Amino acid sequence: MYDFTTLRPRRGIGASKWQPLERAGVADPDVIPFSIADMDLITAPEIISALREAAEFGVYGYTSMDEAYRSAVAGWMRRRHGWEIQPGWIINAFGVVHAVGQAVQAFTQPGEGVIFQTPAYPPFLRILQATGRTPLSNPLLRGEQGYTLDFEALEALCARPDAKLLLFCSPHNPTGRVWSEEELRRVADICARNGVLLFSDEIHFDFIAPVHRHTVLATLDEQTRDNCIVGTSASKTFNLAGLSTANIIIPNDTLRRRFRAKTDGYTGGYTGYFGLTATRTAYEKGEAWLDALLVHLDGNFRLCREFLAQRFPSVWVAPWEGTYLLWADFSCLGLTPEEQERFMRDEAGLFLDEGYIFGREGAGFERMVLACPRLQLERALERLDQAAARRGLPR
Ligand SMILES: Cc1ncc(COP(=O)(O)O)c(C=O)c1O
């Protein structure tokens, strides 16, 4: 019923993800990028209609969240995440990354420590470097079954007097981990005991694999609710990243006031006209489309897992629990990270996110966005197989 097969090549429209292909002069219609986390899939038809209507209206003045918007966001949180929020807890932002930067500035001082788990979504480290905060890395532990948190190391980092904030990614980009309630409780408890505030970046929370269950951090208990900021957005879920709209949810009044004191100064509380329309429509009318998309994604993950198990049996693939990101260790190919990048791009025609950009722990890995039509994915995997065969690479 929904269209997850049509590819819209995004050349010539400033699409960040497609620009490396343009620069490399790749004209082959079968080659698509699998890097930056947006989807090469057309969004829900309900959203396209609402945006068309909004475009035809022709007056695009200043826009701010209204009650209908807030209640659409609250309805989504209740229905999809079992989270009862008050409409006044929502703060509008141009993006979750932008909000992370503002939270870092609102709740920490230059030189103070901010903890994050590595491998990490690259903007976390960039924000800390740009704002002069001390990055405190808490590497994940990797076992055959996947990644786990290093609670002992986290406890030690949180106990440092300069540690003020934990940037927590849940579900985790790039590893695809969906943290269990038990794991979240331990993290929340360590932070609370040590006076460390939590920014829970839950932008991927609508992409949960079958049998897994995501828990919004703020739903654990009152103490945690009052010690966290939750970053959410319809942008990943409905492919709206270019509309620059996110919802930052802060249940605690004092924290919310402090955050707003920082953000309102810059934004005046305004938000984008199209982002507002698209987000509200997504949350009011997009559920059936999302459920269909999750089935499509499950199929793409199965395809990749089976393909890699057969043709690249030495490649370790992180179990898919959430997000639309495949995270796989290709170090068995025996290439340096730079050689691996060149091999993927120039020989296999695969534009991926190289693991090393997520930190030292990611070297040898590739991150691949699987939110795309199946045909282009199948062709990409075949190219990988042929390129490895041509080179005689170990796998
Ligand atoms: C963990 C995480 N946070 C934030 C973002 C980006 O959010 P925004 O576009 O709202 O700034 C991404 C995008 O990939 C992400 O993976």
Burial bucket for residue 128 (CB in 10 Å: 0-12, 13-18, 19+): buried
pLDDT for the residue 267: 74
Q: How confident is the model at residue 195 (pLDDT cuts 50, 70, 90)?
A: very high
Please tell me the total count of domains within the chain: 2
- Biggest distance spanned by C-alpha atoms of the chain: 61
Instruction: Give the pairing of strands 113-116 and 90-93.
Output: unpaired
Q: Are residues 226 and 276 in the same domain?
A: yes
- Residue of 91, 121, 235, 323 with the most ligand 1 atoms within 8 Å of its CB, for mutation: 121
Q: Are residues 228 and 352 in the same domain?
A: no
User: Ligand 1 centroid vs 393 CA: distance in angstroms?
Assistant: 34
| pLDDT tens-place string over residues 81-119 | 999 999 999 999 999 999 999 999 999 999 999 999 999
Could you list the residue range(s) of the whole structural domain that residue 376 is in? Answer: 19-44+288-391
- Residue of 229, 236, 357 with the most ligand 1 atoms within 8 Å of its CB, for mutation: 236
CA angle 87, 92, 93 (to 5 degrees): 155
User: Ligand 1 centroid vs 386 CA: distance in angstroms?
Assistant: 33
Q: Are residues 36 and 55 in the same domain?
A: no
| pLDDT tens-place string over residues 252-279 | 999 999 999 988 777 778 999 999 999 9
Q: Are residues 322 and 362 in the same domain?
A: yes
Q: CATH code at 162?
A: 3.40.640.10
Q: Are residues 85 and 64 in the same domain?
A: yes
Q: Are residues 138 and 167 in the same domain?
A: yes
Contact (CB, 8 A) for 115 and 136: yes
Q: Which atom of ligand 1 is nearest to the CA of 246?
A: 10
| C-alpha–C-alpha distance, residues 163 and 72, integer Å | 36
Using the 8-state DSSP alphabet, how is residue 2 labeled? -
Q: Which atom of ligand 1 is nearest to the CA of 121?
A: 1
**Does 48 score more than 90 pLDDT?**
yes
| pLDDT tens-place string over residues 284-310 | 999 999 999 999 999 999 999 999 999
Pocket of ligand 1 (CB under 6 A): 37, 95-98, 121, 169, 173, 201, 203, 233, 235, 241, 246
Torsion on CA atoms 196, 197, 201, 202, rounded to nearest 10: 100
Residue 72 located in a structural domain: yes
Q: Which atom of ligand 1 is nearest to the CA of 236?
A: 13
